[in-house]
Amino acid sequence: MPLAIVQAGRRVRLIAVDAGHGLQGRLAATGLVPGVEIEVLRNSMHGPFLVEVRGSRIMLGRGMAQKIIVT
């Protein structure tokens, strides 16, 4: 499922990034790589998306969150 539909407070594991090499590289630089655990801190279903990865908080746009596949 895409990260964009995960409710705040849930923890998920990143499976894949369904995007080009540019976005994959930018996300990898922030620690968003396959296998990492992500905690969704804020998802109001509109506006930016806030997650925590390895102790760091990361703000994502909705389009980016839609391309991140999690389980």
Euclidean distance between CA atoms 17 and 21, whole angstroms = 10
Cα–Cα dist 65/49, whole Å? 7
Spatial strand order of the sheet with 11-17 comes to 56-60, 49-53, 37-42, 11-17, 68-70
- The model carries a pTM of 0.92
- Whether residue 13 is predicted with pLDDT greater than 80 in this model: the reply is yes
Provide the 3-class DSSP secondary structure of residue 64: helix
pLDDT at 25: 96
CA distance 12 to 39: 6
Would you place residue 46 in the very low, low, confident or very high pLDDT band (cuts 50, 70, 90)?
Answer: confident
Q: Domains in the chain and their CATH numbers?
A: 3-70 (2.30.30.90)
Mean pLDDT of the chain: 95
Whether residue 47 has pLDDT greater than 90: no
